[in-house]
Amino acid sequence: MRFPLLAVALLSMAAAPAQAQTAAAQTAAAQTAASPTNPVFTGADPDMVALCGRWWVYPTNALDPKDGFAASRFYAWSSSDLQHWRQSEPLLEMDRIDWIKADGAASHGLWAPSLTAANGRYYLYYSVGPQNPTPSRLGVAVGDRPDGPFTDSGKPLLTGGNGFEAIDPMVFVDPKSGKAYLYAGGSAGAKLRIFEMKHNMTEIDHEIPVTTPPNFTEGAFVHERKGIYYLSYSHGHFDGPDYSVHYATSTSPVGPWTYRGAILQADATHQGPGHHAFAENPATHQWFMAYHRWERGPGAGPYKGTREVAIDAIHYAPDGRILPVTMTDRPPLSPLPAASCHKAG
Protein backbone atom coordinates (compact mmCIF):
# COMPACT_ATOMS: atom_id res chain seq x y z
CA MET A 1 0.00 0.00 0.00
CA ARG A 2 1.31 3.41 -0.90
CA PHE A 3 1.82 5.79 2.05
CA PRO A 4 -0.38 8.80 1.16
CA LEU A 5 0.78 12.36 1.77
CA LEU A 6 -2.39 12.91 3.81
CA ALA A 7 -1.42 10.08 6.10
CA VAL A 8 2.05 11.60 6.56
CA ALA A 9 0.43 14.78 7.83
CA LEU A 10 -1.81 12.86 10.25
CA LEU A 11 0.70 10.43 11.74
CA SER A 12 2.06 10.94 15.23
CA MET A 13 5.56 9.97 16.24
CA ALA A 14 4.35 9.32 19.76
CA ALA A 15 2.80 6.04 20.83
CA ALA A 16 -0.98 5.87 20.52
CA PRO A 17 -2.84 7.00 23.66
CA ALA A 18 -4.37 4.66 26.18
CA GLN A 19 -7.85 5.06 24.74
CA ALA A 20 -6.62 3.63 21.42
CA GLN A 21 -5.40 0.52 23.24
CA THR A 22 -8.76 0.27 24.99
CA ALA A 23 -10.51 0.55 21.64
CA ALA A 24 -8.26 -2.18 20.26
CA ALA A 25 -9.16 -4.49 23.13
CA GLN A 26 -12.86 -3.80 22.66
CA THR A 27 -12.58 -4.44 18.93
CA ALA A 28 -10.74 -7.70 19.53
CA ALA A 29 -13.33 -8.92 22.05
CA ALA A 30 -16.22 -8.04 19.78
CA GLN A 31 -14.78 -9.66 16.69
CA THR A 32 -13.62 -12.79 18.51
CA ALA A 33 -17.18 -13.39 19.69
CA ALA A 34 -18.89 -12.49 16.43
CA SER A 35 -20.39 -15.06 14.08
CA PRO A 36 -18.17 -15.89 11.09
CA THR A 37 -18.52 -13.33 8.31
CA ASN A 38 -16.38 -11.94 5.54
CA PRO A 39 -14.72 -9.54 6.11
CA VAL A 40 -13.24 -11.12 9.21
CA PHE A 41 -11.90 -7.88 10.75
CA THR A 42 -10.84 -4.33 9.97
CA GLY A 43 -7.37 -3.92 8.48
CA ALA A 44 -5.35 -3.87 5.26
CA ASP A 45 -2.31 -5.40 3.54
CA PRO A 46 -2.71 -8.82 5.21
CA ASP A 47 -0.06 -11.50 5.26
CA MET A 48 -1.31 -14.99 6.20
CA VAL A 49 0.54 -18.12 7.33
CA ALA A 50 -0.36 -21.47 8.90
CA LEU A 51 1.85 -22.07 11.94
CA CYS A 52 1.65 -23.86 15.29
CA GLY A 53 -1.79 -25.29 14.59
CA ARG A 54 -3.32 -21.88 13.88
CA TRP A 55 -3.86 -19.51 11.00
CA TRP A 56 -2.11 -16.18 11.51
CA VAL A 57 -2.91 -12.92 9.72
CA TYR A 58 -0.63 -9.88 9.98
CA PRO A 59 -2.39 -6.72 8.74
CA THR A 60 -1.82 -3.00 8.72
CA ASN A 61 -4.21 -2.34 11.56
CA ALA A 62 -4.57 1.41 12.07
CA LEU A 63 -6.94 1.43 15.05
CA ASP A 64 -6.28 5.06 15.96
CA PRO A 65 -8.01 7.44 13.47
CA LYS A 66 -5.04 9.82 13.40
CA ASP A 67 -2.87 7.01 12.04
CA GLY A 68 -4.51 7.48 8.63
CA PHE A 69 -3.69 4.53 6.37
CA ALA A 70 -0.59 3.50 8.31
CA ALA A 71 -0.11 2.39 11.92
CA SER A 72 2.02 3.04 14.99
CA ARG A 73 2.18 -0.65 15.97
CA PHE A 74 1.47 -4.10 14.57
CA TYR A 75 -0.87 -6.82 15.82
CA ALA A 76 -1.54 -10.40 14.69
CA TRP A 77 -4.88 -12.15 14.42
CA SER A 78 -5.08 -15.93 14.83
CA SER A 79 -7.69 -18.63 14.28
CA SER A 80 -7.90 -22.41 14.41
CA ASP A 81 -10.47 -22.59 11.59
CA LEU A 82 -10.41 -19.31 9.54
CA GLN A 83 -13.75 -18.27 11.06
CA HIS A 84 -13.18 -17.30 14.70
CA TRP A 85 -10.37 -14.85 15.33
CA ARG A 86 -8.57 -13.32 18.27
CA GLN A 87 -6.16 -10.40 18.33
CA SER A 88 -2.70 -10.53 19.89
CA GLU A 89 -0.94 -8.06 22.11
CA PRO A 90 1.19 -5.56 20.14
CA LEU A 91 3.95 -7.31 18.18
CA LEU A 92 6.16 -4.28 17.50
CA GLU A 93 5.69 -0.61 18.38
CA MET A 94 7.08 2.27 16.38
CA ASP A 95 8.72 3.97 19.36
CA ARG A 96 10.86 0.83 19.88
CA ILE A 97 12.50 1.13 16.45
CA ASP A 98 15.61 3.16 17.25
CA TRP A 99 16.53 4.11 13.66
CA ILE A 100 13.11 5.26 12.56
CA LYS A 101 13.77 9.00 13.13
CA ALA A 102 17.20 9.00 11.47
CA ASP A 103 15.75 10.30 8.19
CA GLY A 104 14.70 13.57 9.85
CA ALA A 105 11.07 13.33 8.72
CA ALA A 106 8.47 15.02 10.91
CA SER A 107 6.30 11.92 11.28
CA HIS A 108 6.36 8.23 10.44
CA GLY A 109 4.10 5.24 9.99
CA LEU A 110 4.24 1.47 9.62
CA TRP A 111 2.44 -0.76 7.14
CA ALA A 112 2.44 -4.06 5.22
CA PRO A 113 3.91 -6.51 7.77
CA SER A 114 4.97 -9.95 6.50
CA LEU A 115 6.06 -12.97 8.54
CA THR A 116 8.62 -15.64 7.59
CA ALA A 117 9.66 -18.64 9.72
CA ALA A 118 13.30 -19.78 9.44
CA ASN A 119 16.28 -20.76 11.57
CA GLY A 120 14.04 -21.67 14.49
CA ARG A 121 12.75 -18.09 14.75
CA TYR A 122 10.16 -15.74 13.23
CA TYR A 123 11.02 -12.68 11.14
CA LEU A 124 8.59 -9.77 10.76
CA TYR A 125 9.33 -7.59 7.72
CA TYR A 126 7.60 -4.22 7.37
CA SER A 127 7.46 -0.86 5.58
CA VAL A 128 8.32 2.51 7.14
CA GLY A 129 7.11 5.80 5.68
CA PRO A 130 6.97 8.57 4.66
CA GLN A 131 7.88 8.07 1.02
CA ASN A 132 8.23 11.77 0.26
CA PRO A 133 10.39 13.78 0.62
CA THR A 134 12.53 11.19 2.44
CA PRO A 135 12.83 7.68 0.95
CA SER A 136 10.72 4.87 2.38
CA ARG A 137 12.53 2.09 4.19
CA LEU A 138 12.07 -1.57 5.09
CA GLY A 139 12.73 -3.03 8.51
CA VAL A 140 12.88 -6.50 10.04
CA ALA A 141 12.24 -7.63 13.60
CA VAL A 142 12.86 -11.04 15.17
CA GLY A 143 10.79 -13.08 17.62
CA ASP A 144 10.56 -16.54 19.16
CA ARG A 145 6.81 -16.96 18.59
CA PRO A 146 4.44 -15.94 15.78
CA ASP A 147 2.55 -13.74 18.26
CA GLY A 148 5.73 -11.97 19.33
CA PRO A 149 6.98 -9.90 20.89
CA PHE A 150 9.43 -8.92 18.15
CA THR A 151 12.69 -7.02 18.54
CA ASP A 152 13.87 -4.83 15.69
CA SER A 153 17.19 -5.76 14.09
CA GLY A 154 18.60 -2.30 14.82
CA LYS A 155 18.95 -0.95 11.29
CA PRO A 156 16.98 -0.60 8.03
CA LEU A 157 16.94 -3.65 5.82
CA LEU A 158 16.55 -1.60 2.61
CA THR A 159 16.20 2.12 1.81
CA GLY A 160 14.47 3.46 -1.27
CA GLY A 161 15.63 6.22 -3.60
CA ASN A 162 16.37 7.01 -7.24
CA GLY A 163 12.81 6.23 -8.29
CA PHE A 164 12.52 3.05 -6.23
CA GLU A 165 10.13 2.89 -3.28
CA ALA A 166 11.16 0.40 -0.61
CA ILE A 167 7.69 -0.85 0.35
CA ASP A 168 5.63 -4.02 0.78
CA PRO A 169 8.33 -6.58 1.71
CA MET A 170 7.71 -10.31 1.39
CA VAL A 171 10.34 -13.02 2.04
CA PHE A 172 9.87 -16.45 0.46
CA VAL A 173 12.00 -19.46 1.41
CA ASP A 174 12.34 -21.76 -1.60
CA PRO A 175 11.45 -25.30 -0.49
CA LYS A 176 13.78 -26.76 -3.13
CA SER A 177 16.98 -24.81 -2.49
CA GLY A 178 16.39 -23.44 1.01
CA LYS A 179 17.36 -19.97 -0.21
CA ALA A 180 15.37 -16.97 1.01
CA TYR A 181 14.34 -14.18 -1.34
CA LEU A 182 13.04 -10.69 -0.56
CA TYR A 183 10.45 -9.21 -2.94
CA ALA A 184 9.76 -5.49 -2.55
CA GLY A 185 8.80 -2.28 -4.28
CA GLY A 186 6.04 -0.69 -6.27
CA SER A 187 3.55 2.22 -6.19
CA ALA A 188 4.62 5.36 -8.06
CA GLY A 189 7.76 3.78 -9.47
CA ALA A 190 5.92 0.48 -10.00
CA LYS A 191 9.26 -1.35 -9.90
CA LEU A 192 9.74 -4.84 -8.49
CA ARG A 193 13.12 -5.81 -7.03
CA ILE A 194 14.26 -9.20 -5.77
CA PHE A 195 17.15 -9.87 -3.36
CA GLU A 196 18.66 -13.04 -1.96
CA MET A 197 18.87 -12.88 1.83
CA LYS A 198 21.79 -13.89 4.01
CA HIS A 199 21.27 -16.93 6.24
CA ASN A 200 20.59 -14.66 9.25
CA MET A 201 17.42 -13.38 7.46
CA THR A 202 18.09 -9.83 8.66
CA GLU A 203 20.53 -8.74 5.92
CA ILE A 204 20.55 -8.75 2.12
CA ASP A 205 23.23 -10.79 0.36
CA HIS A 206 22.80 -9.52 -3.20
CA GLU A 207 20.22 -8.31 -5.69
CA ILE A 208 18.91 -10.50 -8.51
CA PRO A 209 18.02 -8.60 -11.71
CA VAL A 210 14.40 -9.08 -12.69
CA THR A 211 12.00 -7.60 -15.23
CA THR A 212 8.93 -6.06 -13.61
CA PRO A 213 5.87 -8.04 -14.84
CA PRO A 214 2.91 -6.40 -16.64
CA ASN A 215 0.33 -4.52 -14.53
CA PHE A 216 2.55 -4.57 -11.43
CA THR A 217 1.85 -1.80 -8.91
CA GLU A 218 2.79 -3.15 -5.46
CA GLY A 219 2.24 -5.91 -2.88
CA ALA A 220 4.24 -8.77 -4.41
CA PHE A 221 3.67 -12.25 -3.00
CA VAL A 222 5.26 -15.59 -3.99
CA HIS A 223 4.10 -19.14 -3.34
CA GLU A 224 5.02 -22.52 -4.84
CA ARG A 225 2.67 -25.37 -5.74
CA LYS A 226 3.56 -28.58 -7.61
CA GLY A 227 6.77 -27.10 -9.02
CA ILE A 228 5.16 -23.86 -10.25
CA TYR A 229 6.19 -20.56 -8.67
CA TYR A 230 3.43 -17.95 -8.55
CA LEU A 231 4.24 -14.25 -8.34
CA SER A 232 1.04 -12.38 -7.54
CA TYR A 233 0.68 -8.65 -6.95
CA SER A 234 -1.68 -5.69 -6.79
CA HIS A 235 -2.54 -3.47 -9.73
CA GLY A 236 -4.10 0.00 -9.68
CA HIS A 237 -4.55 2.52 -6.86
CA PHE A 238 -5.30 1.20 -3.39
CA ASP A 239 -8.30 3.51 -2.85
CA GLY A 240 -9.83 3.19 -6.30
CA PRO A 241 -12.04 0.78 -8.28
CA ASP A 242 -9.16 -0.51 -10.40
CA TYR A 243 -7.27 -2.09 -7.47
CA SER A 244 -7.02 -5.81 -8.22
CA VAL A 245 -4.72 -8.84 -8.07
CA HIS A 246 -2.80 -10.19 -11.07
CA TYR A 247 -0.23 -12.97 -11.32
CA ALA A 248 2.61 -14.49 -13.30
CA THR A 249 4.30 -17.90 -13.16
CA SER A 250 7.78 -19.36 -13.48
CA THR A 251 9.76 -22.53 -12.90
CA SER A 252 12.06 -20.50 -10.61
CA PRO A 253 11.44 -18.22 -7.60
CA VAL A 254 13.24 -15.40 -9.41
CA GLY A 255 11.73 -15.74 -12.89
CA PRO A 256 11.65 -15.15 -15.76
CA TRP A 257 7.91 -14.65 -15.27
CA THR A 258 5.05 -15.36 -17.66
CA TYR A 259 2.09 -13.06 -17.14
CA ARG A 260 -1.20 -14.93 -16.59
CA GLY A 261 -3.79 -12.19 -15.97
CA ALA A 262 -6.09 -10.97 -13.21
CA ILE A 263 -7.53 -13.29 -10.56
CA LEU A 264 -9.26 -10.90 -8.11
CA GLN A 265 -11.29 -7.87 -9.20
CA ALA A 266 -14.09 -5.64 -7.91
CA ASP A 267 -17.70 -6.80 -8.03
CA ALA A 268 -21.11 -5.29 -7.26
CA THR A 269 -20.61 -5.10 -3.48
CA HIS A 270 -16.85 -5.19 -2.89
CA GLN A 271 -14.39 -2.72 -4.38
CA GLY A 272 -10.62 -2.44 -4.65
CA PRO A 273 -9.58 -5.95 -3.52
CA GLY A 274 -5.85 -6.38 -3.22
CA HIS A 275 -2.62 -6.55 -1.20
CA HIS A 276 -3.03 -10.21 -0.45
CA ALA A 277 -1.30 -13.38 0.69
CA PHE A 278 -1.72 -17.09 -0.05
CA ALA A 279 -1.57 -19.84 2.58
CA GLU A 280 -2.08 -23.61 2.48
CA ASN A 281 -3.77 -25.93 4.95
CA PRO A 282 -1.04 -28.59 5.33
CA ALA A 283 -3.59 -31.31 6.13
CA THR A 284 -5.96 -30.79 3.21
CA HIS A 285 -3.62 -28.98 0.77
CA GLN A 286 -6.39 -26.45 0.15
CA TRP A 287 -5.09 -22.94 -0.54
CA PHE A 288 -6.65 -19.68 0.63
CA MET A 289 -6.15 -15.99 -0.04
CA ALA A 290 -6.31 -13.21 2.54
CA TYR A 291 -6.78 -9.73 1.06
CA HIS A 292 -8.34 -6.38 1.86
CA ARG A 293 -11.32 -4.74 0.19
CA TRP A 294 -13.76 -1.86 0.55
CA GLU A 295 -17.29 -2.90 1.50
CA ARG A 296 -19.20 -0.81 -1.04
CA GLY A 297 -20.62 -0.82 -4.54
CA PRO A 298 -19.04 0.62 -7.69
CA GLY A 299 -18.03 4.25 -7.81
CA ALA A 300 -15.10 6.51 -8.49
CA GLY A 301 -12.32 6.82 -5.92
CA PRO A 302 -10.70 7.86 -3.78
CA TYR A 303 -12.66 5.73 -1.32
CA LYS A 304 -12.89 6.88 2.29
CA GLY A 305 -13.13 5.02 5.57
CA THR A 306 -11.54 1.71 6.45
CA ARG A 307 -10.54 -1.33 4.49
CA GLU A 308 -11.54 -4.81 5.65
CA VAL A 309 -9.66 -8.11 5.60
CA ALA A 310 -11.43 -11.00 3.88
CA ILE A 311 -10.44 -14.62 3.22
CA ASP A 312 -11.59 -16.79 0.32
CA ALA A 313 -10.66 -20.16 -1.14
CA ILE A 314 -8.28 -20.54 -4.09
CA HIS A 315 -8.83 -23.09 -6.84
CA TYR A 316 -6.39 -24.23 -9.52
CA ALA A 317 -7.02 -25.57 -13.01
CA PRO A 318 -5.43 -28.94 -13.95
CA ASP A 319 -2.63 -27.09 -15.77
CA GLY A 320 -1.82 -25.04 -12.64
CA ARG A 321 -3.55 -21.80 -13.58
CA ILE A 322 -5.23 -19.95 -10.71
CA LEU A 323 -8.94 -19.67 -11.38
CA PRO A 324 -10.61 -16.27 -10.82
CA VAL A 325 -11.40 -15.75 -7.15
CA THR A 326 -15.03 -15.25 -6.11
CA MET A 327 -15.38 -12.87 -3.18
CA THR A 328 -17.79 -14.13 -0.54
CA ASP A 329 -19.45 -12.80 2.60
CA ARG A 330 -18.56 -15.82 4.72
CA PRO A 331 -14.99 -17.10 5.23
CA PRO A 332 -14.30 -20.76 4.44
CA LEU A 333 -14.17 -23.28 7.29
CA SER A 334 -10.72 -24.88 7.39
CA PRO A 335 -9.59 -26.32 10.74
CA LEU A 336 -5.86 -26.87 11.18
CA PRO A 337 -4.43 -29.97 12.86
CA ALA A 338 -3.09 -29.37 16.35
CA ALA A 339 0.63 -28.58 16.37
CA SER A 340 3.16 -27.28 18.88
CA CYS A 341 5.09 -24.08 18.40
CA HIS A 342 8.55 -24.91 19.68
CA LYS A 343 10.63 -24.34 16.58
CA ALA A 344 10.21 -22.33 13.37
CA GLY A 345 11.40 -23.23 9.90
Span 15-43, pLDDT tens digits: 333 344 444 444 444 444 455 899 999 99
Q: Is residue 345 part of a domain?
A: no
pTM of the model: 0.89
Per-residue pLDDT at 47 exceeds 90: yes
First to last CA, the chain: 28
Our count of domains for the chain comes to 1
Span 105-152, pLDDT tens digits: 999 999 999 999 999 999 999 999 988 888 999 999 999 999 999 999
- Segments forming the whole domain that contains residue 120: 5-314
Q: Is residue 108 part of a domain?
A: yes
Span 62-119, pLDDT tens digits: 555 455 567 889 999 999 999 999 999 999 999 999 999 999 999 999 999 999 999 9
Q: What is the CATH number of the domain that holds 260?
A: 2.115.10.20
Q: Is residue 341 part of a domain?
A: no
Span 281-334, pLDDT tens digits: 999 999 999 999 999 999 999 999 899 999 999 999 999 999 999 999 999 999
